[in-house]
A and B are shown apart, each in its own frame.
Chain A
Amino acid sequence: MLFTEAGQLATSYKAEQKLFRLRQDYVAFGILLFLAFVALPYWGSDYWFNAILIPFLVLSLAGLGLNLLTGYAGQLSLGSAAFMAVGAFATYNLELRIPDLPLLFSILGGGLFAAASSVIFGLPSARIKGFYLIVSTLAAQFFIQWLFTKFSWFSNGSTSGVITAPPLVMAGYDFSTPVGRYLLTLSIVASLFLIARNLVRSELGRHWMAVRDRDTAAAVMGIPILKTKLLAFGMSGFILGIAGALWAFTYLGTVEPHGFDLTRSFQILFIIIIGGMGSLLGNFLGAAFIVLLPILLSQLIGLLPANHWVDIGQLENAQKIIFGGLIIFFLIKEPDGLARLWQRCRERARIWPLRY
């Protein structure tokens, strides 16, 4: 319906392993990149960048980090926000203590520190699986938040643990404007998603899914189970760390350890549950749902001529009720998340107007 793929057959394995097999996918992806990199910066308002696009992108990235670990490698985690915190505080300290280090390297370094801490808290996965592993990642959540609050060295002497963004200057270009911060975020998020896409289609991605689906069978095949799990923890931590650095420095500007509390971990978990476990697109859909829907709902409720009979506070509650109700509705309708819903729509569209 949307487009037809008739006649586009891959004639070599190389052709089939391309990023997108269909011509239309390339075109659609090109248009999307053009919109994101050119059209939006040209037309978008500061409100859109600050309140919608940047948090949407950063949360998509955080979703990706958790999705690699939980959706692909099957290891449950409630410590996502902690590893975001490690990324943010490590980036801050690298900028602070090594003044000549370019910003991009500080962010990458923050990711590496987060990866290392994620691997450490992933070690118990050698012995425990499933829900019990949550305990270890929950320990990470509480320990790391405590660490950054307790020791003010991490926040350069600030007693409340608040850190402020370093100047966002890269290669002489100042990224401090809303558009600049948006473009910086977008570039980093897009490249990490590209790498993740390669990874999940590669042998490592198959190892992750094998461990998730049947770890005995994976071991019998010669897949090193612990190494595979720890690589998932490391990769997940790396991406979450970078997401944390972006959250702190391109979105909020200043952040305290409390900003990376358990609620944030739950938010990221909800993103991948709603968006779709084991799907890259799902991270965007889930993040969009979490970021955009509350804004949309408050706008809609603002349109109601309600001020006479209901006060504003109760409208906010109503917004939460509707939001929760929608989550339940979507999960009943499609337990595998919005990504699966989208996939089903595409499959339906392929054969439309026939039903099967």
Chain B
Amino acid sequence: MDLGSTELTSTAHTLLPPLLKLENISLAFKGVKAITDISFEVQAKRITALIGPNGAGKSSLLNVINGVYQPQAGTITFKQIPHKQMTPRYAAQQGIARTFQNIALFKGMSVLDNLLTGRTLKRHSTWLEQAFRVGRAPREDRSNREYVEQLIDFLDLTAWRKTLVGTLPYGIQKRVELGRALAAEPTLLLLDEPMAGMNAQEKQEMSEFIRAINREFGTTIVLIEHDLSVVMSLSNHLVVLDYGKKIGDGSPEEVRHNPEVIAAYLGTRH
């Protein structure tokens, strides 16, 4: 599967414009450079992985893509529209959803409510309609509920629908967060270390869910992951960062043989 898709990536490059294109992005916090002049492309309907040692700027890059951080230089082109920077709300409206490295669920709400919150942009009723349960509100309640229930079924979360997420085990919480992001029906899904802290079996399950999302919903995925064996088998395209710079870009096979990447991972002198 992976070899086949690698070939596909190289042909797709020439055929389709990329869904997301970063050009010369630089980000600094009060003079401390987090990202320096990074450019790469994300092809639609593929799984792209960002890898690199701790502090390489991977999470910062995700934060730039969905507008949590504003870069000082560079262009973010999403769906052929170039932007100097994004804002979180605009990114969400454009169809970008994400999960966080340290789970950022709404702990005081049930699994169901967390996923329903993920669909917030699919609603158009005002809060007054909701307070009196008139107009568009009841219809929206029902249609969103139906979608979320299907998603709960898809992610195998049925047993915990009404449980407060704060009381769930870590692995399940990660899956709920994936569901919450997916509830927005995103075009681009950003996953920040979806398998951090999991054992081999949980990683396997999570990989399967990510593959299934990519396959069944056609969602483009950009993920950050440290476990190279998982990354190599899961993704079609890898971008390698080190010290805020891009040091590798290509198919898993190409990246595996890139001397700079090997140096970064094995810790050779720079």
Most buried by B among A209, A213, A214, A222: A222
Tell whether A212 pairs with B146 under 8 Å between CB atoms, given A202-B130, A220-B66: no
Asked if residues B118 and A202 are in contact (CB atoms below 8 Å), the reply is: no
Name the segment of B47-55, B91-99, B218-226 touching the other chain: B91-99
Asked if residues B117 and A210 are in contact (CB atoms below 8 Å), the reply is: yes
A-B CB contacts (within 8 Å), total count: 98
Question: How large, as a class, is the contact surface on chain B?
Answer: 35 or more
User: What CA separation (Å) do A197 and B118 show in the bound complex?
Assistant: 21
Asked if residues B88 and A220 are in contact (CB atoms below 8 Å), the reply is: yes
Chain A interface (Cβ within 8 Å of chain B)? Answer: 13-14, 17, 195, 198-199, 202-204, 206-207, 209-210, 212-214, 216-224, 231, 278
Nearest 4 interchain pairs by C-beta: A222-B92, A202-B130, A213-B106, A217-B104
Asked if residues B127 and A214 are in contact (CB atoms below 8 Å), the reply is: no
Most buried by B among A209, A210, A212, A217: A217
Inside 8 A of A198's CB, which chain B residues have their CB? 130-133
Inside 8 A of B149's CB, which chain A residues have their CB? 13
Asked if residues A203 and B146 are in contact (CB atoms below 8 Å), the reply is: no
In the assembled complex, the CB of A14 is this many whole angstroms from the nearest CB of chain B, namely: 7
Asked whether any CB of chain A lies closer than 8 Å to the CB of B121, the reply is yes
In the assembled complex, the CB of A252 is this many whole angstroms from the nearest CB of chain B, namely: 30
Inside 8 A of B125's CB, which chain A residues have their CB? 203
Asked if residues A221 and B100 are in contact (CB atoms below 8 Å), the reply is: no
Inside 8 A of B133's CB, which chain A residues have their CB? 198
Instruction: Tell which of B117, B141, B142, B146 touches A221, judged by Cβ atoms closer than 8 Å.
Output: B117
Asked whether any CB of chain A lies closer than 8 Å to the CB of B120, the reply is yes
B residues 73-127 touching A (CB-CB < 8 Å): 88-89, 91-93, 97-98, 100, 104-109, 113, 116-118, 120-121, 123, 125, 127
List the A residue with the shortest CB-CB distance to B146.
A13
Asked whether any CB of chain A lies closer than 8 Å to the CB of B137, the reply is yes
Tell whether A278 pairs with B131 under 8 Å between CB atoms, given A220-B92, A221-B184: no
A-B contact pairs, 30 of them (CB 8 A): A13-B141, A17-B141, A195-B131, A198-B133, A202-B131, A202-B137, A203-B120, A203-B125, A203-B140, A204-B127, A204-B130, A206-B117, A207-B120, A209-B106, A210-B109, A212-B106, A213-B105, A213-B106, A213-B107, A214-B104, A214-B106, A214-B107, A216-B68, A216-B100, A219-B68, A221-B92, A222-B89, A222-B120, A222-B184, A223-B120
